[in-house]
Amino acid sequence: MKHFLPHFIQENYRHGKLEGRLRAFTMFVDLSGFTRLTEKLMQKGPEGAEELSYALNHIFQPTVALVYEQGGFIPNFAGDSFIAIFPYKEDSATHAEISGIALRVAETAQSTLRRFISDQEDPVMAEYNIGIKIGISEGDVKWGIVGSKRKGYYFMGEAIEGCSDAQVRAESLQAVADERFLKFIRPEIIDSESIGDGLSQLLLEGINLSESAPHTNSAPKLPKPDPVVMEEFFPKEVFENPGIGEFRNVVSVFLSFTGVNTHEALDHFSTVVLDQSENFGGYFKEIDFGDKGGVIFCIFGAPVSFENNLDRALEFITAVQDDLLHMENITGARYRIGITSGTAFTGVIGSGERCQYAAVGARVNLGARLMMQAKWGEVMADENVQRNRNFKFSFKGEGNFKGFEKSIPTYVLSGRNLGGRTSFSGNYFGRQSELKTLLDFAMPLRENRFAGVAFVFGEAGIGKSRLSYEFRRSMRETMAVSWFTCQSDQILRKPFNPFIYFLKYYFEQSPENSQERNRELFENNFLELQYELTENRHPEADAVRREIARTQSVLAAMVGIHY
């Protein structure tokens, strides 16, 4: 079994440790040009997917192996990039020992760049101008395990931010380090050239770090992957995947967040997203603190695909918005979302020491860029997503994005498209007997008596909706009737969901409203309901009114309002 979960996380989880801090050197490795390669190989179908899988792993496998040989580990693969963490014990290691680890990190960067330069003779690498940049830092790293039903994990802190910032300033085939790293490197071993802002390019050409850096005599023995633990973090389809890459149509959802400053807050925030991604059949890939700050990435359509992946992704976003509304108001947490739909390479990337099920492609990258362009609280979408007719979108404008030659139209999600009431044209015929049965069944309602429950069932297209419509129309012609819909959800099998649907409609609740506006609408409608029950002369009206008053807070909680 492959190491889909970092051994660091696996072993801490097995021992019941869910958060901590370590001191480490960090290295951000970023590849460029793979998006162009992905788009080109898509045209070749399955054969192109095999070629791309080979190209990705041809680069990653030796680099990942080198990281682990030098005592590091990799938390995540962010498409065509990754961060490596090299921990050390600052309270027991000598400065010389720590400097030795720093040299091993530098040697890892040097070996990666040298091998990459030699690969430039490869026709595929040369044709698509595949490049590499490396950023290196040192400092505190905070880590944690989050989630309830499904688990996730994160690594964050100054060392993560430092290597991310350094990588951004690096040119292709360069390694850039910050001052925190350089204080452990003697200039007579590695020279450097300042590029400003406390960053320097490491001048690694023409030196032999293998003679200076201390080495272990054997590759580290990693603990075996624990399938029981892995199932806490991933659906089985991820780690039971044979590892053969393929091109799939996927929906990419990127969620950037801020104001989530403690492990407890991040646990709560992440649990909402983890649970809802599970509810709607998505793959919660990772929590990443890289060059874009705090980001959660979810995929719909891989490794498990459904007929309605886009509907599921949009319903997922709406559910997350509902669940996080209270947290936003209490803690000031903010988030923004980018969502795109399109073909991407999906499959396992990495090596035997560490791998991950990932999605790589231009539309995936666009999702991340839309997220960064969105305002806080906004959900930005591409043209493929806005075609969905179950949700409303407003045109935001065309934008130029890295990796795209032409400008891209962008849209903002504005809510569900409730449309109008279902109506039919033409004369109704062929179901008069069934209609009469329903009308006769409803006769006790005229005497304020309970009529029972009627079921309308049959094959798709047989006319159930038209029969129900004619029944409602006929009832309205002869008596005053209020129709309430308790609609089930074919995607989300959630307790009380039909009743929550009815209550939100009755109390005029909408995710587009502020929390204050939804509370105001709830209380106004609640008072009106109580007034109507007070004026009602039905013998049970007063008992119903008292029960409604007693359960007001329960009804409010079901629609997301908490007193």
Q: What does the DSSP assignment read for 134-185? A: EEEEEEEEEEEEE-SSS-EEEEESHHHHHHHHHHHHPPTTEEEEEHHHHTTS
Under a CB-based contact definition with an 8 Å cutoff, are residues 84 and 29 in contact? yes
Q: How far apart are CA 528 and CA 380, in angstroms?
A: 38
Confidence at residue 33, expressed as pLDDT on a 0 to 100 scale: 77
CATH class of the domain whose range is 1-217:
alpha beta
Q: What angle do CA 36, 38, 40 make, to 5 degrees?
A: 70
Q: Where are the alpha helices (DSSP H) in 70-132?
A: 95-119, 123-127
How many beta carbons lie within 10 A of that of residue 507, not counting itself? 21
Under a CB-based contact definition with an 8 Å cutoff, are residues 29 and 164 in contact? no
Strands 293-300 and 246-258: antiparallel
Can you read off the two tokens belonging to residue 541? 């009206």
Domain 245-419 CATH (choose: 2.30.60.10, 3.30.1490.20, 3.30.70.1230, 3.40.50.10490): 3.30.70.1230
Confidence at residue 14, expressed as pLDDT on a 0 to 100 scale: 96
Per-residue pLDDT for the chain (563 aa), expressed as one digit of tens each?
Answer: 789 999 999 999 999 999 999 999 999 999 887 777 888 888 888 888 888 887 777 778 888 988 998 889 999 998 788 999 999 987 777 778 888 888 889 888 888 888 777 766 666 556 666 788 999 999 999 999 999 999 999 999 999 999 999 999 999 889 999 999 999 998 888 999 999 999 999 998 877 776 666 665 455 689 999 999 999 999 988 887 666 789 999 999 999 999 998 999 999 999 999 999 999 999 999 999 977 889 999 999 999 999 899 999 999 999 999 889 877 777 788 999 999 999 999 999 888 899 999 999 999 999 999 999 999 999 999 999 999 988 999 999 999 998 788 899 999 999 887 654 556 767 787 788 999 999 999 999 888 888 999 999 888 778 888 898 889 889 888 888 888 888 877 676 678 888 998 999 899 888 778 888 899 999 999 999 999 999 888 889 999 999 999 999 999 999 989 88
CA-based nearest residue to 475, from 435, 503, 517: 435
Q: How far apart are CA 299 and CA 253, in angstroms?
A: 6
3-state DSSP assignment of residue 541: helix
Buried b (16+ CB within 10 A) or exposed e, 230-257: bebbbbeebbebeeebbbbbbbbbbbbb
How many beta carbons lie within 10 A of that of residue 318, not counting itself? 18
3-state DSSP assignment of residue 26: strand
Under a CB-based contact definition with an 8 Å cutoff, are residues 307 and 298 in contact? no
Under a CB-based contact definition with an 8 Å cutoff, are residues 383 and 30 in contact? no
Maximum Cα–Cα distance across the chain = 98
Under a CB-based contact definition with an 8 Å cutoff, are residues 441 and 452 in contact? yes
Q: How far apart are CA 259 and CA 269, in angstroms?
A: 11
What is the number of residues in the chain? 563
Instruction: Provide the total of helices (H) and of strands (E) in the chain, helices listed first.
Output: 19, 15
DSSP state of 494: -
Confidence at residue 242, expressed as pLDDT on a 0 to 100 scale: 61
Can you read off the two tokens belonging to residue 109? 């960067």
DSSP of 304-342? S--TTHHHHHHHHHHHHHHHHHHHHHHH--EEEEEEEEE
Can you read off the two tokens belonging to residue 476? 């309205």
Under a CB-based contact definition with an 8 Å cutoff, are residues 297 and 253 in contact? yes
CA-based nearest residue to 321, from 138, 513, 107: 513
3-state DSSP assignment of residue 251: strand
DSSP state of 303: S
Confidence at residue 216, expressed as pLDDT on a 0 to 100 scale: 58
Under a CB-based contact definition with an 8 Å cutoff, are residues 557 and 509 in contact? no
Under a CB-based contact definition with an 8 Å cutoff, are residues 4 and 237 in contact? no
Which residues make up the CATH 3.30.70.1230 domain(s) of the chain?
A: 1-217, 245-419
Under a CB-based contact definition with an 8 Å cutoff, are residues 375 and 412 in contact? no
